[in-house]
Structure 1
Amino acid sequence: MEFGAKIKVLRTENQLTQEQFASRLNVTRQAVSNWENNRNLPDLEMLILIARSFHISLDDLILGGNTVNNITEKLIQDGSETRRARFNMITTLIGAFLLFFGFACFFIKANSVEYIDQSGILHENFYLLPIGFFFIFTGIIVFLVIGINYVRELIKRKV
């Protein structure tokens, strides 16, 4: 049974109009109508409120038996999008940190003093150049990989 039909049956079993059902859930009558006509779906918090208000298990409300319906697909898709967004945010922060650290190495190298001590040994922090290049290169690679994955996901969604 589709989610809209499940909501309509639940409402009619409790002898409620769409307006009464909506006021019980603190939503508009149009929201209930959209749910019943499968135009849009409630979010997870609203599903929990419906289940508690009408003493129905979330399994029965969401799954409606053994078949996967549109609300189940939406919840699965929302979960995977949340994980993907969190992963993208973390990798973006890592890439930004790498770039910042690389530029910081160049800044320190440019503003440090090089000198020759009394015994004729040159003191300079030359090691900051390859470290800076390494961090900048790694940061750029991270951003390229994130960008390619993002574009690939956009193309996949459009197809």
Structure 2
Amino acid sequence: MKLGKRISELRERKQITQGELAQIIGVTRAALSHYENDRRQPDYDTLMKIAKFFSVSVEYVIEGNENSTQIQG
């Protein structure tokens, strides 16, 4: 699975919109859409914000390491 699909799936599990997540991580909704559709790669700071918000590792967001899929309470 590609990075964009993982971001999209994490967002959908939390039942939030692209606009809501974009605001939380400090990017535009258009930028988030580009990430989710693998047209652009987020920078490391943005990856860290995504991982922190979803309580997963940056490694999971980037590579899909199954050991990091547990979303912590």
TM-score when scaled to structure 1? 0.40
1:64-97 Cα offsets, whole Å, 9 max, x none, are: 138xxxxxxxxxxxxxxxxxxxxxxxxxxxxxxx
Instruction: Give the residue type in structure 2 aligned to 1:52.
Output: K
- Matched with 1:32 is 32
5+ residue gaps in structure 1? 67-159
- For the aligned residues, what is the CA RMSD? 1.3
* Aligned residue runs from structure 1 range 66-105, under 5 A: none
* Aligned residue runs from structure 1 range 115-134, under 5 A: none
- Matched with 1:107 is none
Identity %: 39
Moved over 6 A (4+): none
- Matched with 1:93 is none
Deviation, 1:49, is: 1.1
5+ residue gaps in structure 2? 67-73
1:1-45 Cα offsets, whole Å, 9 max, x none, are: 100100100110010111111011111000110001100010011
Deviation, 1:60, is: 1.1
Aligned length: 66
- Matched with 2:5 is 5
CA distance in 1 between partners of 2:16 and 2:51 (Å): 16
Larger Rg: 1
TM-score when scaled to structure 2? 0.83
CA distance in 1 between partners of 2:61 and 2:37 (Å): 16
Instruction: Give the residue type in structure 1 aligned to 2:5.
Output: A
